Amino acid sequence: MIQTIASVGLPIDEPLMIRKNRLMPDNRLNGKEKRISVVTGTHGDELEGQYVCYELQRRIRESYSCLTGIVDIYPALNPLGIDSLTRGIPGFDLDMNRLFPGAQNGSMPEYIASQIIADLSGSDAVIDIHASNIFLEEIPQVRINELSKGTLIPLAKKLNVDYIWVHSAATVLESTLAYSLNMIGTPTLVVEMGVGMRIAKKFGDQLVDGIFALMKELGIWSGEVGEPKEPIISDDGEVMFINAGSSGVFLPAVEHWKNVRVGDHIGDILNPLTGEINETITAQADGIVFTLREYPIVSEGSLIARILV
């Protein structure tokens, strides 16, 4: 059942609508059903969640009798951004994930943010799906604020991701959707995976398997599910950042999500004008490369990789 949770008029005489699709079991429990909400499209250039929304619904419809709770799917919190492949809200130059919890009597983006919060509030779990930007590739991971880790880590372990990254409270922005919902008691998990403006089907399938495992745990799904992966769990202190020391064209020498040792060759920054190597980048610690530069043009200071040590 498709529902509109927010609608505002645009200058072009069309409405901007935020919509969700609610899937409910055939046999209702008088309003006592558990509810999971899957949201994505907050940033218009992050498209991984679009496939997840499709595949999740496809699998549910194949075995609809196994649905024992409510699944709410919000594919486009920022539909104008998705239509224009723009990270923020076109015309406002705003990052939507810096507007929550919004304001009922605020500007148009603030009003929409407040309606989204109101509609998601009370979910037994919210999965907030993001992709990386166009510059970096990320393995499927859940990012958690340490203030909520006691509640969220057991849920995150069901999502079949490779990695759970617990961030210190000082590094988490309070204006995000996830922070705002967690602070009012609605457990919200932020998933990051893939590359901006693209869809990695294997990552999407991996996450959908995990969503079904979490639905099973919450009593929303009675069908068979796979055993989730056992994720690596770490905090900020166990992550090493590698940044470019010069400008040029980055050519990687390692694979994504592979082990490296101190001194291993990570890649080179090339100079196409002179035919020389501006910088040879090596690992400064043993670990796993869980973030790797995808877009080759770099400037001094550009993020090249993250290593889980």
**Exposed (0-12), middle (13-18) or buried (19+): which is 10, by Cβ within 10 Å?**
exposed
236-308, what's its fold? OB fold (Dihydrolipoamide Acetyltransferase, E2P) (2.40.50)
Task: Give the predicted TM-score (pTM) of the model.
Answer: 0.96
Mean pLDDT, residues 170-192 taken together: 93
Q: Do domains 2-230 and 236-308 have the same CATH topology?
A: no
Write out pLDDT tens, residues 71-126.
999 999 999 999 999 999 988 889 999 999 999 999 999 999 999 999 999 999 99
Identify how many contiguous H helices and E strands the chain contains and give both numbers. 6, 17
Cα–Cα–Cα angle for 287, 289, 295, rounded to 5 degrees: 155
Convert the pLDDT of each residue in 21-72 to its tens digit. Answer: 999 998 877 778 999 999 999 999 999 999 999 999 999 999 999 999 999 9
Which among 267, 263, 229, 217 is positioned nearest to 245, based on CA atoms?
267
What is the architecture of the domain spanning 2-230? Answer: 3-Layer(aba) Sandwich (3.40)
Hey, where are the domains in the chain? 2-230, 236-308
Residue 276 CB neighbours (<10 A): 9
**The two three-digit tokens of residue 284, written as one number:** 């400064």
pLDDT of 201-232, one tens digit each?
999 999 999 999 999 999 999 999 999 999 99
Average pLDDT, the chain: 96
